[in-house]
Amino acid sequence: MKRIAVLTSGGDAPGMNAAVRAVVRTTLFNGKECFGVRRGYEGLIDGDFILLDRAAVGGIIHRGGTILRTARSPRFKELEGRRQAIEKMKEAGIEGLVVIGGDGSYRGAKALDEMGFPVIGIPGTIDNDISGTDDTIGFDTAVNTALEAVIRLRDTASSHDRLFIVEVMGRNAGFVALEVAVASGAEYVVVPEISLSIGRLCEHLNYSHRNKKSHTLIILAEGVMSGEEMRSKLSDTGGYEARVTVLGYIQRGGTPTSKDTILASRFGAYAAECLFLGKSGYMVGIINNRFVLSPLERAWTEQKALSQELIGLVEKLSV
């Protein structure tokens, strides 16, 4: 294999550029060529390729977003679209592909693998909902971005005896919400993986107010309900004045943390090496700080579990 390509797909995540850089630099180190695919699978079908050299990826290691951009591609869901993508890669002499993204991106990668084209996946999503790896690219940055906002909100909440419901991203997974809740000292966390009892939550708010807590923070994962919907469901706030803050897409942007930058760099280098060794149909991951390879389909066939220790810690430390 002398020439490979790399693309970013799905939602952007801080650290994707560091992963792209690592794929390119590792490829060059091995005396081979690497192309970037612009606009994800849509660009793959159109043959929107650019040869990436050392200069092309210079200075991008700390940039958020993705220099390759990303886009939805209904055409790629069709067999003809995937055939066109493979044909375009073969015309360009591309013999393998690295796909950086989440479970939706992996479904596309798996389809290419089943058609005989070598593919390796890198988990890039702030949601951290990919089984087969302890962490995904962008997760740590998203948690720290949200945490900084929550710390600022706590100052206002404490000054006014307020309840703040902070809605964070995470789609149908509570990893971001849970870690933000623990790190911010929040009194309550609401995640999709655990059934919500509004009655119990109201009792908790009353308990906090009776114990003269000057404020209460609830961290809400967006996959459960909106912050406004939660506020409307709270028949009793325990005496607190309730406010809602939606952090939204600010969690997806910005400079990646050192942890995400290093993780992305390690993933990118490992993914390229795996392709050169003839591996295909796998995603790279890290468990207990050791590299692992898992089948791509694990991303959508196996649900990643939240830490029961952290769940218990939120309740234990909110007394």
In the sheet where 216-221 sits, what is the strand order? Answer: 188-190, 216-221, 162-168, 241-246
Q: What does the block give as tokens for 108?
A: 């596309």
Distance (Å, rounded) from C-alpha 290 to C-alpha 286? 5
- Residue 33 class from Cβ within 10 Å (0-12 exposed, 13-18 middle, 19+ buried)? middle
Catalytic-role residue among 127, 129, 135, 140: 127
DSSP output for 271-305: HHHHHHTT--SEEEEEETTEEEEEETTHHHHSPPP
Please report which helix (H) or strand (E) contains residue 179, including its range.
Answer: helix 175-184
Point out which residues pair with 166 in neighbouring strands: 219, 245
Q: Is there a catalytic annotation at residue 127?
A: yes
- Cite the active site residues: 127
